Chains A and B, each alone.
Chain A
Amino acid sequence: MRRAHLVIAGTIVGTAAVVAFPVESSHVDLPGSGASTASGNGTSAAGSTSGAASASTPTSTTPGSSVPSTSSPTTTAPPPTTTSGSRSATGTVVQDRYGQLGVTVTVAGNKITHVGIATISEADTRSASIDSYAIPQLEQQVIAADSANIDGISGATFTSDAFVQSLTSALGKLGFA
């Protein structure tokens, strides 16, 4: 089994987690927005959630959890301008109890340089809080990765299986399995 070591590095402006309550918008300026990537609508690939290390214990959740984006998902959080050598992929759009979620990941070499929301249901109340909570959360991981003073960040986090499924399938498309 090929095992790729990915690192979080650079200007991550994505979202690692989503929260399920509306938050007053405290907009986070994203560095270098606008560059499009080979994201597509993210709905084409079958739900290959068999990502890293799942050879031992497949985390196959709901079969058929990959659904077409029928409820007009909105595109949010465009990835930053990518430098040459960066590759992007969008993972399977996953349906969960909160709505639909698709994740885009950009990798330079073996470094994750961006994780973002590619598609999210319009009705998804998570979108309101992504800017104010989830994006800074990932940025803090970058701080920790690059800081000489801090090795990690501890904080209350919202876990999302949909996020992991979509991220894993996106990484799989980039050859990390």
Chain B
Amino acid sequence: MIPSGGRFWHVEPVMGTMVGIRSPDPLREDAVAAAAAVLHDADRVFSVWNPDSPMSRLRAGRTAMDDLAPDDAATIRSVLDRCAVACELSEGAFDPWSLPGGVDPTGLVKGWAVGRARQVLVEGGHDTVMVNGGGDIAVAGRPDGRSWRAGIRHPMQPTQLAAVVEVTAAVATSGNYERPGELLDPATGRTARGVISATVTGPELDLVDALATALAVRGGPMLEAIGGLVGYGAYLISDEGRHYASGTMTFATP
């Protein structure tokens, strides 16, 4: 429990990144441990790096859903259910079933796990907390009576921010600037073009995470679609450097 600028931080290396847990209140040891356990369990079940993870074995056809441990099967089923919701909301722009090599829920899992960690922290007594999993952020409460604020990394100038947005529940950013060519539009099979940074805010981080990917893939039409969802906001930077926003995206003064 380390004070830092009036805040308390815990850093957990997991899921290929560093997950930060932050609160204006002293961190509760047991709650942080429970949240970390949730993150590591998600890593164990869904890791794409580990060929022996339940999800990897399922994808490779080396095991059937019914042969998995019941808890793992239930976890995978619930995540795939959320993927189906995200696929429908995104009008197919996020479609884990379209990827080569079998269904791959990776695009939603980190947001799902971080969102669950946030929930565990709330249930453990942290009514004001932020969990940041490599840029996928879930929050609860209001620090000092204000909104949580997330800086949106500038896609072309890594040391700078493109904007600061207010976060009431969840925010995620997707883009091609870290791994160009990785985002494909399931409808066309082509690399997404036109969007270099796509940010989505909303009530649930798993869907927010998936919709950020959908926004990066499809651009303008998805900006409108997300803007039409209750409680969601979208913020897009085009490859021409233009900034667009829709829905309840709320910008703050940097």
Co-complex (A, B)? yes
Contact flag A145-B151 (CB < 8 Å), given A62-B50, A151-B143? no
Q: A6 contacts the other chain (Cβ, under 8 Å)?
A: yes
CA distance A53 to B40 in the complex (A): 7
Residue B57 CB within 8 A of the other chain:
no
The reply to whether A52 and B136 form a contact with Cβ atoms under 8 Å apart is no
Q: Is A156 an interface residue (CB 8 A)?
A: yes
User: Which of A52, A109, A145, A147 has its CB near the most chain B CB atoms (within 10 A)?
Assistant: A52
Q: Shortest beta-carbon distance, B126 to chain A, in Å?
A: 13
When the two chains form their complex, are residues B36 and A52 in contact, meaning their CB atoms are under 8 A apart?
yes
Q: Is B77 an interface residue when CB atoms closer than 8 A count as contact? A: no
Given A53, A62, A137, A140, which contacts B12 in the complex, CB threshold below 8 Å? A53
Q: Give B27's nearest chain A residue, CB to CB.
A: A5
Q: Does B61 contact A (CB under 8 A)?
A: no
A54 within 8 A of B: yes
B10 in contact with A5 (CB, 8 Å): yes
Question: Is B92 an interface residue, CB under 8 A from the partner?
Answer: no
* Size range of the chain A interface in the assembly: 35 or more
A residues less than 8 Å from B143 (CB atoms): 151
| Stretch of A12-20, A36-44, A71-79, A80-88 on the interface side | A12-20
Q: Which of B62-70, B96-104, B166-174 contacts A (4 or more CB under 8 A)?
A: B166-174
Contacts of A149 in B (CB 8 A): 149, 164, 252-254
Q: A5 to chain B: closest CB distance in Å?
A: 5
Indicate which residue in B11, B152, B176, B252 contacts A8 across the interface (CB closer than 8 Å): B11
**Alpha-carbon distance between A88 and B186 when the two chains are bound, in angstroms:** 45
**Chain B hits for A1, CB < 8 A:** 33
Cβ-closest chain A residue relative to B26: A5
- B128 CB → nearest A CB, Å: 11
A residues less than 8 Å from B17 (CB atoms): 16-17, 157, 159-160, 163-164
Known contacts A111-B2, A145-B7, A61 near B178 by CB under 8 Å: no
Residue numbers in A under 8 Å from B43 (CB-CB): 57, 59
How far does the Cβ of B234 sit from chain A's closest Cβ, in whole Å?
13
- Interface magnitude class on chain B: 35 or more
Minimal Cβ-Cβ distance residue in A for B181: A21
Q: Which residue on chain B has the smallest CB distance to residue A49?
A: B13
One digit per residue, 1 when the CB lies within 8 angstroms of any chain A CB and 0 when it does not, for chain B 1-17 equals: 11011011111111111
Interfacial residues of chain B within 168-213, with CB under 8 A of chain A in the complex: 171-180, 197, 199
B132 near A140 (CB under 8 angstroms)? Answer: no
Within B219-254, the residues touching A (CB, 8 Å) are 252-254
Contact A158 B179 (CB under 8 A): yes
Select B151's contact among A3, A8, A154, beta carbons within 8 Å: A154
Which chain B residue shows the least CB distance to A21? B180
With A57-B37, A62-B50 given, is the CB distance from A157 to B44 under 8 Å? no
Interface assignment of B123: CB less than 8 Å from any CB of chain A: no
Using Cβ atoms and an 8 Å threshold, which residues of chain A touch B197? 155-156
Answer whether residue B76 sits at the interface, using C-beta atoms and an 8 A cutoff. Answer: no
**A44: shortest Cβ distance to chain B, in Å?**
20
Q: Are B149 and A154 in contact (CB under 8 A)?
A: no
Q: How far is the CB of A124 from chain B (nearest CB, A)?
A: 15
Residue in chain B with minimal CB distance to A4: B10
Is B13 within 8 A of A168, CB to CB?
Answer: yes
A133-B41 Cα distance, complex, nearest whole Å: 29
A71 to B155, CA, bound (A): 33
Within 8 A of A (CB), among B16-61: 16-18, 20, 22, 27, 29, 32-33, 36-37, 39-41, 43-44, 47, 49-51
A128 in the interface, Cβ–Cβ < 8 Å? Answer: no
**Chain B's nearest CB lies how many Å from the CB of A93?**
16
- What 10 A-B pairs have minimum CB-CB distances, sorted nearest first? A155-B153, A159-B16, A53-B36, A136-B158, A156-B175, A161-B49, A7-B9, A157-B134, A56-B37, A57-B40
11 contacting pairs across A/B (C-beta < 8 A): A7-B4, A8-B18, A21-B179, A57-B41, A136-B158, A145-B7, A145-B9, A154-B132, A161-B50, A164-B17, A167-B18
